[in-house]
């Protein structure tokens, strides 16, 4: 009789311990989920960015007509080269260059290339680009470095 009582008491104690453990774990998980919601800024609406003020914050160098015109220019030029080549060579070439205070381009160099056969073609495309709008800091045009990806696809 004493043994049955001890086994019953032991079962009740074990069940009570598991219940407490489960409640503690659930409370920690709920808290972790709440922390996660507020610790990841992607879930919180960000304010709209304000455009930089040319005189105070400056601006990056810009292809005439903007980034969309640059992409169109590169696409047209790569298409011309690919259609004139007899081989089916494809790849990407990253070309670095400098834009001086007047917007002239210089110091062209290959930074990365997936196909060395395309390096000279990529350099010729970038060298033939028109002058850019120079970078500006505190209302003054300054020399800057730029990179473009010439994608032969």
Write down the pLDDT at residue 11. 57
113: Cβ contacts below 8 Å, ≥ 6 apart: 91, 92, 93, 94, 119, 122
Write down the pLDDT at residue 110. 97
Q: Residues 135, 59: contact at Cβ < 8 Å?
A: yes
With b meaning 16 or more CB within 10 Å and e meaning fewer, what string describes 65-83?
A: eeeeebeebbeebbeebbe
Q: Residues 134, 142: contact at Cβ < 8 Å?
A: yes
pLDDT for 104-153, tens place per residue? Answer: 999 999 999 999 999 999 999 999 999 999 999 998 999 999 999 999 98
For residues 137 and 140, what is the distance between their CA atoms, to the nearest angstrom? Answer: 5
Secondary structure tally for the chain: helices H, strands E: 3, 5
Question: If pLDDT is split at 50, 70 and 90, which confidence band does 62 have?
Answer: very high
Q: What is the dihedral of CA 76, 79, 85, 86, to 10 degrees?
A: -160
Closest residue by Cα to residue 151 from 98, 85, 63, 73: 73
Neighbours of 12 (CB within 10 A): 10
Question: If pLDDT is split at 50, 70 and 90, which confidence band does 21 have?
Answer: very low
């Amino acid at each position: 009789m004493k043994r049955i009582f001890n086994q019953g008491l032991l079962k009740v104690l074990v069940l009570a311990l598991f219940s407490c453990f489960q409640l503690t774990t659930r409370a920690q998980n709920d808290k972790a989920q709440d922390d996660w919601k507020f610790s990841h800024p992607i879930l919180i609406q960000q304010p709209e960015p304000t455009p930089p003020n040319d005189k105070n914050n400056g601006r990056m160098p810009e292809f005439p007509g903007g980034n969309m015109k640059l992409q169109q220019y590169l696409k047209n030029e790569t298409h011309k080269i690919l259609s004139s080549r007899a081989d089916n060579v494809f790849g990407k070439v990253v070309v670095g260059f400098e834009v001086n205070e007047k917007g002239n381009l210089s110091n062209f160099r290959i930074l990365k290339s997936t196909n060395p056969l395309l390096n000279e073609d990529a350099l010729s495309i970038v060298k033939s680009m028109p002058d850019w709008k120079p970078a500006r800091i505190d209302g003054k045009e300054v020399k800057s470095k730029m990179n473009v990806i010439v994608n032969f696809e």
